[in-house]
Amino acid sequence: MDPGTFDAARLRELVGVGVNRVSLGVQAFQEDLLRACGRAHGLREVHEAVGIVTACEGLQNWSMDLISSLPNQTEEMWEESLRCTVDARPTHVSVYDLQIEQGTKFGQMYTPGVFPLPNDTESANFYKIASKRLSEAGYNHYEISSYCKTGYECKHNLTYWQNRPFYAFGLGSASYINGVRFSRPRRMKEYAEWVRNLEDGTWSHESRSSDIKDIAMDVVMLSLRTAWGLDLRSFSKSFGKSLTLSLCNTFKPFVESGLVIAMDMERRALPPSDFELDLQNEGDFGSRVVFIRLSDPDGFLLSNELISLAFGIISP
């Protein structure tokens, strides 16, 4: 929900019909930044929305969204947004790095040089600051872009990250059932026709069944996005010991540098020497190292590069 799009009465109605979690799209706590990225709300609406959500009886679980690397954003501005977020005391915080996409309002507004964006080094620093400040405030950094108080992980997103099946409803929504992915039409006219066909029993859909390599890549990508990491025993059982060993050998230099962390059954960090011993003793592989994860924040920052290396092993 975006600030300025609901009032206390509307929120009470939603809670009354069973809504038990709200995600508030604040994005920033500076008027100039909100205007620069084309948001319809201002700072006044942000504070009003936070007040409405925190005062709503029966709604204890709520999330706040922030965006870093906005045009003209400084480290001081980012620190202020993080302080305001912590002061608001949401149970969950999502922190996203700005992506310029065609067709979005900001994508249409953005002109290089007119709205200067932070460089890669500054963006990485914003990420590290968020990890530090939110961790200090008692939030668990449980996924690359997600922080929560204990027990308030986003169940909706966990379904994706754990590669579990899900139904989705509405225009353009995509479902994943029995290893098959399929989408609904994106436009209202086609969607209405799809619903009529569904009702009269003539519906059929184009689906894409995932092959074993696709599934393995999904498991690696989704697992390494999280603090729980990749379960090596489960991966070996599903996709073979040889592939698991190849992945671990690829990650060996990054374990040594601290970008990848080896963990035991209790998910306690192990020294690189234990990882090396497991690789040397292939017959007893997995006796020490049971999980691997990306370190926080440096490994998470290089997640695209590290996951791409894994993809190259799975599907050369």
Residue-wise pLDDT tens digits, 72-124: 899 999 999 999 999 999 999 999 998 655 555 444 444 555 556 778 899 99
238 and 199 inside one domain = no
Distance CA 268, CA 290 (A): 10
Tell whether 1 is covered by a domain: no
Of 124, 153, 182, which residue sits at a domain end? 153
Statement: residue 203 has pLDDT above 80: no
94 and 169 inside one domain = no
Statement: residue 272 has pLDDT above 90: yes
List of residues 6+ apart from 226 with CB closer than 8 A? 142, 143, 144, 161, 293
DSSP β-bridge partners for residue 260:
294
197 and 237 inside one domain = no
**Domain total of the chain:** 3
Buried b (16+ CB within 10 A) or exposed e, 210-224: eeeeebbbebbbbbb
Average pLDDT over residues 41-57: 93
142 and 119 inside one domain = yes
133 and 200 inside one domain = no
Identify whether 118 is preceded by a cis peptide bond (ω within 30 of 0): no
Residue-wise pLDDT tens digits, 137-174: 999 999 999 999 999 999 888 888 888 889 888 899 98
pLDDT at residue 75, rounded to an integer:
95
Q: Which residues span the domain enclosing 280?
A: 213-314
Tell whether 3 is covered by a domain: no
Cα-based torsion angle of the residue sequence 184, 307, 136, 66 in order, rounded to the nearest 10 degrees: -40
Residue-wise pLDDT tens digits, 114-134: 556 778 899 999 999 999 999
Tell whether 2 is covered by a domain: no
Tell whether 187 is covered by a domain: yes
Of 209, 229, 256, which residue sits at a domain end? 209
Query: Where would I find the H helices in the chain?
Result: 8-16, 31-36, 43-55, 75-88, 105-109, 120-136, 155-161, 188-200, 212-224, 232-239, 241-257, 272-280, 298-301, 303-314
252 and 295 inside one domain = yes
Domain CATH for 43: 3.30.750.200
